[in-house]
Amino acid sequence: MRFEGGWWPRFPVSFSLPHNGRSESKRNMTTLPDGTSSVATNPAVYEWEGFLRREPMALDHTQTAASLEGKRIMVTGAGGWIGSALTRSIAKFAPRQMVLLEAAERSLYEIDAALRQLPCPIEYAPILGSVSHPGLLNEIFRRYHPQIVYHAAAYKHVPLMEQNPFAAIENNAIGTSRLVEAAANHRTEQLILLSTDKAADPVSIMGASKRIAELVVLTQRSQGSLMKAVRLGNVLGSEGSIVPLFLKQMSSGLPVTVTHPDVRRYFLTTGDAVTVLLQAAHAETPRGILVPDLAEPMKVEALARHLMAKTHATSTIVFTGLRPGDKMCEALLSARESFAMNPGEANQGEAGPLRLVKSPCLAPAMMTEVLGELEQACQERSLDRLLKAVLRAAPEYQPSALMQAAVEETA
């Protein structure tokens, strides 16, 4: 690889396509030397259609090719579970260039190493850095001029973010605002934010940070730049999710821990998540939040029992109680939102497999004030000021008892 004009790699670098996020094998048991079997702990070897009871989401290849072919495309969080799967899928559509921004060195190394070993070369640049650094972002946009930006970089683990609220806001909310500003200033054709159902009526700081990220996207009024957010549910098998935890517990002969017998979540496969994000690129809406049809939320206990049946595991299930920031049941819409259904509302609310959400947003001036307050609170490490600014942006946010207690301790 050659380096020109400083420390960034120039094109081309070898790149090709691994699997699409669905199962590579139907086997879920590993034979040991003594002839016994153990539970396979790699989620990639499991098929999920039987649990979800629905067919994989179909990708419109013609429309997707028209949206991506020959484009300069940037993916943030490119080394993460969704980011790397998205990167691999985008390559199928012959982009002109790709820019892969990743804050974790190991993750960037792994996606770069994988791309180098595979045929079907395309041009791409692996860049180590964070969306929270405006100087870095402006240099990326000046050098590579991405036309489409997929923003998958985020902190997503609810309990960890409850203990690290400043990091959640700095990365998920402020980082998104800096990325959106850079994209708008450089007249990027469109930016697509990967959001979460936890942003709807959030009860966790992670969900609230993603709701503010959505508001940043909704508030941006740049001429010529499309700004969209896509809300997804829990991606089965993704890093830090419950499936790897369940499989590890089963493999070790430990009890499977579920928070509550009635807790429900929206689930989708990695392949479905990538399909939804690719379809968003040609959704006929200039700005808004898009939601896929994920049917009904499913019990987490049912997922655990499904995996136990598939693996013949003999583990028992132990209910541990909801954690700070957990909901009993997630929702794709908040109480203040609805689907756009009236004639003339963004193609009657339809965007292929996605539906447009009518969602309250902030005035640009107020959004600017809130972001300034969030930045100041993070600099001062003032949790009280941070939560006041979060609630100003997202009054529907209900801080957990843990968060409220932390505010009282620091008062």
Q: Exposed, middle or buried by CB within 10 Å (0-12, 13-18, 19+), for 100?
A: buried
Residue type at 104? Answer: A
List the end-to-end C-alpha distance of the chain, in Å, as a whole number.
53
Active site residue 198: yes
Q: How far apart are CA 87 and CA 125, in angstroms?
A: 12
H/E segment holding residue 324: none
Q: How far apart are CA 203 and CA 59, in angstroms?
A: 33
β strands within 15-139, DSSP E? 29-31, 37-39, 72-76, 97-102, 124-128
- C-beta separation of 328 from 260 below 8 A: yes
State the residue for tokens 């947003």: 361
Q: Exposed, middle or buried by CB within 10 Å (0-12, 13-18, 19+), for 159?
A: middle
Residue type at 1? Answer: M
State the residue for tokens 């402006």: 138
Q: How far apart are CA 109 and CA 104, in angstroms?
A: 9
3-class DSSP state of 70: coil
Catalytic one among 71, 198, 210, 228?
A: 198
3-class DSSP state of 374: helix
- C-beta separation of 250 from 311 below 8 A: yes
The residues that are catalytic are: 198
